[in-house]
Amino acid sequence: MLDRVVIAVRWLLAITRAAAAVLLIASVGINFVNIIGRYVFSVSIPWAEEMMLFLMVGCVFTGCCAVAWEGRQIRMDVVLAILPHKLRELIDVLSELVMIAAAAAVTVFAWPVISQLAAFDERSEAGNFPLVIPQMMVPLGYTLMAVVVAVRLLVRWRRSSVKRADASH
């Protein structure tokens, strides 16, 4: 069962990595076109900066899933390196649980804002773009990050229980 979940997470990661790449390429493309327009034709795209910002938000919050799966997020782990192995593992697990709790909190607290943006059809100033879309990327990214970290913790727990079972035989 857990193997199927890991396969599903790997598919999810492939999709989110591809989405992050597409969003980044789109942002670079808009920037390129805006630069050419501004310096060659003396005409810039009024909504370019705003849209590039929204695309970067999407890129970051779709790409964070892969970082969370690999456990490569920024950590203050200088002290962890000198701790005994068992204590370091315990703190790692606690850190992952805190990450899941924080991600859940961000998602819960963001939901009323997202609902209001959608209900009032709030739009950006320059591009008239629905603000619910870039704002939704934040809780979506955090939710996906919490899911992949939870699966990673389950995989870790399963591996450690298998090692303990093998060691006892």
Q: Give the model's pLDDT for residue 97.
A: 95
More confident residue, 149 or 167: 149
Per the CB < 8 A criterion, the answer to whether 37 and 44 are in contact is: yes
pLDDT at 37 over 80: yes
Q: Give the model's pLDDT for residue 161.
A: 74
What is the maximal distance between C-alpha atoms in the chain?
76
Q: Give the model's pLDDT for residue 59.
A: 96
Q: What is the mean pLDDT of the chain?
A: 91
Q: Give the model's pLDDT for residue 116.
A: 95
Give the pLDDT band of residue 4 (cuts 50, 70, 90): very high
Cα 77-82-88 angle, rounded to 5 deg = 65
Segment holding 143, helix H or strand E: helix 132-168
Q: pLDDT (tens digit, 9 = 90+) per residue, 128-142? A: 999 999 999 999 999
pLDDT at 169 over 80: no
Q: How is residue 117 written in tokens?
A: 């943006």
Percentages (nearest 5) of helix, strand, coil residues in the chain: 80, 0, 20
Name which of 22-31, 103-112, 157-166 the model is least confident about.
Answer: 157-166
Count of Cβ atoms closer than 10 Å to residue 150 Cβ: 18
What's the average model confidence in pLDDT over 46-50? 95
Q: Give the model's pLDDT for residue 164.
A: 66
Q: pLDDT (tens digit, 9 = 90+) per residue, 96-115? A: 999 999 999 999 999 999 99
